[in-house]
Amino acid sequence: MVLDTTRDVAHKGLLAALGAVTLAEDELDHLIDRLAARGEEVARSRFGHVESELRSRLTGVEKTMRDGLHDGHVLRQALREELERRGRWIAEALNLPTRDSVGHLREQVERLYAEIEQIALQRAAEPPAPVPGYEDLNAREAAAKVSTLDTATLEAIRSYEQTHRNRITVLRAIDAALTEHA
């Protein structure tokens, strides 16, 4: 809560400074326009030496304003950099994800989706289990089930079990059931 208040105050302070710089730029532009218009009026109504004096002063004012605008741009850039630096610091303090970490996670998710899709394609190409629901049976259930099956089904299940799960308990139960059928 204190961190949120501190962050809000810091954020508002940076925004206020940024707004002040922008407002100063706008006011300087407006002031330059007004000074130029007034200077033209005075130039038309005064003598040549007054006109040169005004141009000289106006050039000085414009230079001062340009310097002020430049300083404002520099200040704005410094404020942006400070805001970004503090934002990164706050994100790190709160253990928030960064763009880089989110991008890395996105790459991992895309890689996992590709692997899942590859596995799904492989499973779709595999023949189904010889007995419906066989894939869902644990070793004990599968071993109990084989004693009730005929020889052809037992051979099919043995082949399926050897290529897929290769559970020794189930394979022994299949061998015992085949021995009983022989």
pLDDT tens-place string over residues 75-96: 889 888 888 888 788 777 777 7
Mean of pLDDT over the chain: 81
Q: For the chain, first and last CA: distance in Å?
A: 78
Q: What angle do CA 126, 132, 133 make, to 5 degrees?
A: 90
pLDDT tens-place string over residues 133-161: 888 889 899 889 888 889 999 899 998 88
For residues 9 and 90, membership in a common domain is answered with: yes
pTM over cut 0.75: no
Residue found under tokens 């799904």: 120
The number of distinct structural domains making up the chain is 2
* Token code pair at residue 30: 């407006």
**How far is it, in rounded angstroms, from Cα 38 to Cα 34?**
6
- Residue 102 located in a structural domain: no
- Residue 112 located in a structural domain: no
- Residue 104 located in a structural domain: no
